[in-house]
Amino acid sequence: MKEGASNRFWNLDLIILALLAGFSIAFMIDARTYNPTAALFPRLVSSVTFILLFISIVQRFWRSLKEGRPVPRPEEAAPSAAKGGLGAGFSLLVMMGYFFSIYLIGMIGASLLYLCLMPLFMGYRKYKVVFLTSAMWIAAFVFVFAYILHARIPAGFLGNVHQWFGLM
């Protein structure tokens, strides 16, 4: 491998892939404490995610070794990216904020907030489309998980405000 190839191999998008693989492993470990029925979906999603991320990282490394040159950065590979969008590092921070906001405001509120804000952060400016699409995804999520699968959707710390006042 050439001298510059090893240094440019470890750019931000590869680090994000590795972090996502770490989250996938963490979710698989956390799912061990669930009962078998509740653990099925997180295990399935985490396993498939980890496998696909691992394949992506290995392919990237193999291509870098085979060609003897660094893998192009995302901005070089796709120069037609949206103008005014924010970087991958900020996107990772927003994803981590989404994960922690689930515990604070609940799955439905955090997902709606994330689905509305992330396209805007990435430079998409059709506000009506973003809001309608986000609302439809949340409605479909609630319908499938709450009414068809009868799964409990995390309400979060602030999502249980109605219990604080004895409303329900």
- Residue 4 confidence (pLDDT) above 50: no
The arithmetic mean of pLDDT across residues 103-116, rounded, is 87
- 6: pLDDT confidence band, cut at 50, 70 and 90? very low
Could you report the per-residue pLDDT of 50-68, keeping only the tens digit for each? 888 888 878 887 877 777 6
Percent of residues, the chain, with pLDDT higher than 70: 74
- How far is 105 from 154, CA to CA, in rounded Å? 9
- How far is 91 from 18, CA to CA, in rounded Å? 15
Query: Tell me, what's the pLDDT at 10?
Result: 57
The arithmetic mean of pLDDT across residues 141-156, rounded, is 84
The predicted model scores a pTM of 0.51
How many of the other CB atoms lie within 10 Å of CB of 10? Answer: 10
Name residue 89's amino acid: G
The arithmetic mean of pLDDT across residues 95-113, rounded, is 86
**Residue 11's closest CA among 74, 91, 79?**
74
Could you report the per-residue pLDDT of 72-92, keeping only the tens digit for each? 555 555 444 455 556 667 777
**Residue 157's closest CA among 113, 115, 117, 101?**
101
- 39: pLDDT confidence band, cut at 50, 70 and 90? confident
Please give the structure tokens belonging to residue 143.
Answer: 């319908």
Query: Tell me, what's the pLDDT at 133?
Result: 92
Query: Tell me, what's the pLDDT at 88?
Result: 65
H-type alpha helices, the chain: 3-9, 12-30, 36-67, 74-77, 88-105, 107-121, 127-142, 161-164
Query: Tell me, what's the pLDDT at 73?
Result: 56
Mean pLDDT over the full length of the chain = 76
- Residue 22 confidence (pLDDT) above 50: yes
Query: Tell me, what's the pLDDT at 84?
Result: 53
